[in-house]
Amino acid sequence: MTASSLAWTQWQISRLRTAIEKKALPDTKEVQRLSDLQRLEMGYLRVLQQHGRGAQGEARDVKSRRELTAGIAADNPLEDDLIARPMMN
């Protein structure tokens, strides 16, 4: 529900920005509405945790994943860009 509300809000922001850009002197009500929609968008993003921690995880987890990935990349006899460890038969 929140994701669909965020998408609708972003669509409204895009539509309103286009309308404002077409005018030489935008109406103050339109500018205020745009500001309100942008605040609403930020609220939805916070709820959905669309920021660094929400996208990548806690810093301690990111660090351990990066260290693990670096270890795998250093021990890659095929020298390819794959993250998974190659299996040798």
List Cβ neighbours of 44 (8 Å cut-off, separation of 6 or more): 2, 5, 6, 9
pLDDT given at position 5: 93
Range of the domain at 38: 2-50
- Kindly state whether residues 43 and 7 are assigned to the same domain: yes
- Kindly state whether residues 61 and 35 are assigned to the same domain: no
How confident is the model over 24-33, as pLDDT tens digits? 888 899 999 9
How confident is the model over 36-68, as pLDDT tens digits? 999 999 999 888 876 555 555 666 777 777 777
- Kindly state whether residues 16 and 41 are assigned to the same domain: yes
Give the residue with greater pLDDT, 86 vs 75. 75
pLDDT given at position 83: 53
The structure tokens listed for 53 are: 């921690």
Give the residue with greater pLDDT, 72 vs 11. 11
- Count other Cβ atoms within 10 Å, centred on residue 6: 18
